[in-house]
Structure 1
Amino acid sequence: MPQLIVNAKNTEKRIAVIENKQLIDFELFRPSEKAQVGHIYLAQIEKIDKKIDAAFVNLGQEKGFLHLKDLPASFVNTQGARLLVQVNRMGTKTKLPLVTGIIELSNAYFVYMKGKSYISVSKRIEEQEKIKLTEIMSGFLEPEESIIIRSEAINLDKEALLHHFKELQQQFSNLVQLSLNKKQPGLIYASEDLFFEKVNRFIHDYQTDDVVSDVSFPFATKILRDDDIFETFQINTNITKLFQPVVHLKNGSSLYIEKTEAMWVIDVNSGRFSGDFEKERTVAKINLEAVPEILRQIRLRQISGFIVIDFIGGMSDKNHDKLLLEMENGVRAERITTQVAGFSKTGLMQLTRRKKEASLLEVTSETCPSCNGRGHVNSSLTLAYELERELRTHDLSSLNFILIITTESVLSAFLDLGVLDEAPIDWEIAEEAIPFYQIARVE
């Protein structure tokens, strides 16, 4: 059974899920004044763009992006109109927070939504119980109300079901009343226990009752007041690996994971894999064995959006179908909606994963000041050529002194060019790992 390890005593809080001593899910939580997933705002529509069927809304301290299809059917979407919205996806450096007019509230038994009309039942509930619960709850719903019935609801009688459903209805009514009393757009609801709500969602999704934490809270089954509970469970080493692009698999093959502006790319490599099979069988075996680790890495790194996987080529149509089926079966068990779009004409597998929060890479890193996010820096030889060009912009015959600060590798590359020997250059070596030069003084 999966085990939850919760590090909650520090400002940055972390949740890890381990099973058979392997890290299978991970999420960190950093307090922020920016719009967080689940926050509810009174918003005002500032602009409607019919070309993209969306609206830009004012949330008070920041703006939001709203798809018009995510509005209650009865709402009249006009510029200046006010409405309650909930954050579906946090904003990034290039995108506004994504909000919806379909407000979602939940407890242990139901997920309640205002703005749509339907009933859904947990897949863990058997068919006869589904029919029974659907008949009971359909009599409680008002227009534009929806519920998802959770598996815990099967233990409740009709009176208890109504009680817990009415709690959520009342919670929504209270939010509406708060919005009516608010003069300007702004935050209406932000749970102080947002992190522990995340923990509760993990408990529900992984169906576990083994929760180890370094602080006491209602869901914790064991308290370990260690200096670093993640170190105790040897989780820190696994987290460190999540920031490396290369993932080594036990069979000797590897994955290379890279983020581009538009998508995530995962490349499967045979590496040191060796087998006694013919090439086609070997390729199929490597690709099939990579699927579980690919899904694990997507989950751990919180990868979302458009994902392209470059499996090793050379498989038969039969094994292509087998690989596609393996991936489709794998994504069904994911907590976050993940869909397999199939193979492109060039043989690349395409996935889409619902985006709610920024990836682990986006949350924990910033653009490199040396390479500006390219992942590469100019070589010593490239800088040597640049230095030559820059020096030739000066009238060297009239100069008495030029001071250049540079790394030893750039100096060596420049001297190998065998140019500008007559220039009055004084070199100063800088002990830096990244190649660079600077013309510090010209006299």
Structure 2
Amino acid sequence: MKKIILNCRTSEKRVAVLEHDKLVELFYESSEGESIVGNIYKGRVEKVVPGMQAAFVNIGLERNGFLQIDQLANYKSLDLNEKRKVSISNLLHEGQEVIVQVTKAAFGEKGPRLKTLLELSGRYVVYMPNDTQIAISKKINEDEREVWRRFGQAICDKNEGLIFRTVCTNKTTEVVKKEIEYLKENWSEIDKEQAGKKTPSLLYKNTDLIEFIVQDLIGDEPTEIIVDDGIVFRKLKERLSIYDDTITEIKHFINKEDLFSYFGIEQEIPKTLNPYVELENGASLMIEQTEALTVVDVNSGKFTGKHNVKETILKSNELAALEIARQLRLRNIGGIIIIDFINMESQKDREYIKNKLNAALRTDRNYTKVYGFTQLGLLEMTRKKEQKSLLEKLTTTCPTCHNVGRVYSPEQVTRQLERALWEYKGMDHEAVWVEVPTPVLELFKANANVKLRQLEETLGYKILLTSTDQLINNFEVRNFGTESEIKSRISKKKTH
């Protein structure tokens, strides 16, 4: 049984995925730092670079997007001989308006990657409004693949295409047709609106929480969705109504307690930022993330085995492989990953551990590839990086230890405080006094305290914030009482 926990009451939306009551994935969505991957923009070509066979496109963000020739719809339509000869300057020119979609977010000094081969994703299919390709998941058997191919050709117009996902297996064409019609209507609305919009502008936002859950998190296994916001609850039920889904149950959590705290997830989050992970047999992992790659070190620790050293090593490495697959998903670690398993002399044992890791990675939605062991006995693998890791999202470098360590970012402390204040909604006291780090106070004071006033109106009490340099990545609730009593205490503290 899979559980999807949606914590949506505050400005930051959080999603936790539990498999067999074990936390395996965490997602954060906030208006300040949401992903732009999948967004569709109306952009303007700023510069064409024939030597790179690429162009830079202004889509209204801090950095121009990067568009390579092989990501152009009009390049894909050329035959092989024409592709060898054509220059990107024949297909694009400076000042030209183009409709583009983000394939990869900006990273470091690099702008977002773009394409004009547009896609709208659903649960069963990916609809392509300007690509004639009909593709079917290789995991679907050949007989069924042919059925879907013929169905796709019949339902698509001249310039349309479809990708049938693996979840189409054993589904009826009527069920899948409903989704295709839904996606076609979406694109029709986008296409109509774009003509009247200025350049650059956002045409379609792909980070909608409900779409993400429907497309990526709900599968063929029985799933229970628990959400603490009434609006999201109703929208989710409406969105799922187009499917004949009898194994997904949606529940509205109405308790006053924070949803993540209720299910014990809040207590698990700090562990995801800790490089040290203890395994159930006493062995352990040390996960170190750098800009270039992630290194995972496996240690036997307290585990000594019952019979011999070889058994000890193999058992520890097997448990480590399973936990590493989970931690990569949970921490959203991408890029190059090097795993230093406990040294195994036998090639048979190495192959066994590699297969165990591959099997555990099958539940990962991100593309992974395990290359095998190097001559130094290190296992090399990669995991597709589409967004920042959990560590990058939730923390910033520590100013006290000269950027060696990491602490919660001011934005995260702000959101943690907001969630903590929700716990006191409806209390008898008129006001609360909270001490926060100076950067956190500055975030609340931005936009003339609008956010703070909105929070006070929602929760029904006055929130008095004061700054302190004693707290780096935390806050402290000092007192409850009337507004005048707390102001008096604050005044006395300032005079001491």
TM bin, normalised by shorter chain, reads 0.7 to 0.9
Residues 1:357 and 2:387 aligned together:
yes
Secondary structure of 1:331 counterpart: helix
Within 5 A, what are the aligned runs for 1:69-80?
69-72=70-73, 73-74=76-77, 76-80=91-95
Could you tell me which of 195, 198, 218 is aligned with 1:204?
A: 218
Alpha-carbon separation, structure 1, partners of 2:67 and 2:384: 16
Could you tell me which of 226, 245, 250 is aligned with 2:280? 250
SS at match of 2:397: coil
8 Å CA contact 2:397, 2:405 repeated in 1:
no
Describe how 1:154-169 pairs up with structure 2 within 5 A.
155-157=171-173, 164-169=179-184
Deviation at residue 113 of structure 1 after TM alignment? 2.3
Residue 374 of structure 2 is aligned to residue 344 of structure 1: yes
Give the distance between the partners of 1:265 and 1:246, measured in 2 at CA: 12
Q: Distance in 2 between matches of 1:370 and 1:263?
A: 25
Deviation at 1:234, TM superposition (A): 0.8
Quick check: 1:151 aligned with 2:167? yes
Aligned to 1:311: 341
Task: Please give the per-residue CA displacement for 1:27-52, whole angstroms capped at 9, x wherever unaligned.
Answer: 11111377622221112232344565
Which of 101, 112, 116 matches 2:116? Answer: 101
Correspondence for 2:25:
25
Deviation at 1:109, TM superposition (A): 3.7
- Pick aligned residue for 2:127 from 100, 103, 112: 112
Residue deviations 1:292-336, cap 9 Å, x none?
A: 100110001011111111111233111111122222222232111
For structure 1, which segment, 363-372 or 233-242, has the greater mean C-alpha deviation from structure 2 after superposition?
363-372
Letter of the aligned partner of 2:254 in structure 1?
R
1:359 to 1:314, Cα distance in 2 relative to 1, 3 A:
same
Aligned with residue 185 of structure 1, among 188, 200, 225: 200
Following the alignment from structure 1 to structure 2, what is the Cα–Cα distance between the partners of residues 356 and 39? 13
Tell me which amino acid in the other structure corresponds to 1:90.
A
Could you tell me which runs of 5 or more consecutive residues in structure 2 were left unpaired when the two chains were aligned.
78-87, 238-248, 407-468, 473-496
Secondary structure class of the residue paired with 2:311: helix
Letter in 1 for 2:336: F
> Greater CA deviation, 148-157 or 364-373?
148-157
Which piece of structure 1 moves more, 206-215 or 334-343?
206-215
Partners of 1:3 and 1:210 within 8 A in 2: yes
CA distance in 2, matches of 1:324, 1:82: 48
Q: Which has the larger radius of gyration?
A: 1
Change (3 A) 1:71 1:242: same
Q: Counterpart amino acid of 1:151?
A: V
- Alignment deviations for residues 215-261 of structure 1 (CA, whole Å, 9 cap, x no partner): 23234621112321111111111111001010000111111111112
Match of 1:327 in 2: 357
Instruction: Give the counterpart of 1:139 among 131, 134, 154.
Output: 154
TM-score (normalizing by structure 2) = 0.69
Q: Is the 8 A contact 1:205 1:335 kept in 2?
A: no
CA distance in 1, matches of 2:329, 2:165: 25
Specify whether residues 140 and 184 from structure 1 end up closer, same or farther in structure 2 by C-alpha distance, changes over 3 A only. same
Alignment-mate amino acid for residue 10 of structure 1: T
Which residue in 2 is equivalent to 1:369?
399
Q: In the alignment, is residue 276 of structure 1 matched against residue 309 of structure 2?
A: no
> Alignment partner for residue 251 of structure 2, among 199, 222, 232?
222
Q: CA deviation at 1:65?
A: 2.7
The one-letter code sitting in structure 2 at the alignment partner of 1:348 is L
The answer as to whether partners of 1:111 and 1:150 remain within 8 angstroms in 2 is no
Aligned to 1:263: 293
TM-score by length of 1: 0.76
Over residues 140-187 of structure 1, what are the superposed CA-to-partner deviations in whole Å (9 max), with x where a residue is unaligned? Answer: 3334623224635855446x7556434433433443343333342221
What amino acid is aligned across from residue 67 of structure 2 in structure 1? L
1:265 deviation in Å? 1.2
User: Which secondary structure state, in structure 1, belongs to the residue aligned with residue 318 of structure 2?
Assistant: helix
Mapped to 1, the partners of 2:178 and 2:291 lie a distance apart of 48
Does structure 1 retain, via aligned residues, the 8 Å contact 2:335–2:385?
Answer: yes
Name the structure 2 match of 1:83.
Answer: 98
2:129/2:160 contact within 8 Å kept = yes
SS at match of 1:297: helix
The reply on whether 1:16 has 2:16 as its aligned counterpart is yes
Q: Partners in 2 of 1:155 and 1:109 — Cα distance?
A: 9
Once the two structures are TM-superposed, the CA of residue 122 in structure 1 deviates from its matched residue by 5.2
How many matched pairs?
Answer: 378
In structure 1, the partner of 2:315 is 285
Aligned equivalents of 2:191, 2:54: Cα separation in 1: 23
Which one-letter code corresponds to 1:201 in the other structure?
Answer: Q
Which AA in structure 2 matches 1:280? K
The equivalent of 1:2 in structure 2 is: 2
Whether the aligned pair in 2 keeps the contact of 1:203 and 1:209 (CA below 8 Å) is no
Residue identity matched to 1:102: L
Higher-helix-fraction structure: 2
Distance 2:172 2:20 in 1: 34
| Shift in CA distance, 372/58, structure 1 to aligned 2, threshold 3 Å | farther
Q: Could you tell me how far 1:202 is from its partner in structure 2?
A: 4.2
Residues in 2 aligned to 1:206 and 1:265: alpha-carbon distance in whole angstroms = 34
Deviation at 1:130, TM superposition (A): 3.2
Counting aligned pairs with the same residue, the percent is 34
Q: Is the 8 A contact 2:67 2:114 kept in 1?
A: yes
Specify whether residues 372 and 104 from structure 1 end up closer, same or farther in structure 2 by C-alpha distance, changes over 3 A only.
farther
AA partner of residue 289 (structure 1): L
Question: Is the Cα contact below 8 Å between 1:2 and 1:210 reproduced in 2?
Answer: yes
Aligned residue in 1 for 2:434? none
2:428 corresponds in structure 1 to none
CA distance in structure 2 between the partners assigned to 1:177 and 1:4 by the alignment: 35
Q: 1:203 to 1:34 in 2, by over 3 A?
A: closer
Q: 5+ residue gaps in structure 1?
A: 377-430, 435-443
Cα distance in 2 for partners of 1:275, 1:58 equals: 60
SS in 2 for 1:298: helix
Q: CA deviation at 1:373?
A: 2.9
Instruction: Give the letter for the 2:55 counterpart.
Output: A
Partner of 1:346, secondary structure, is coil
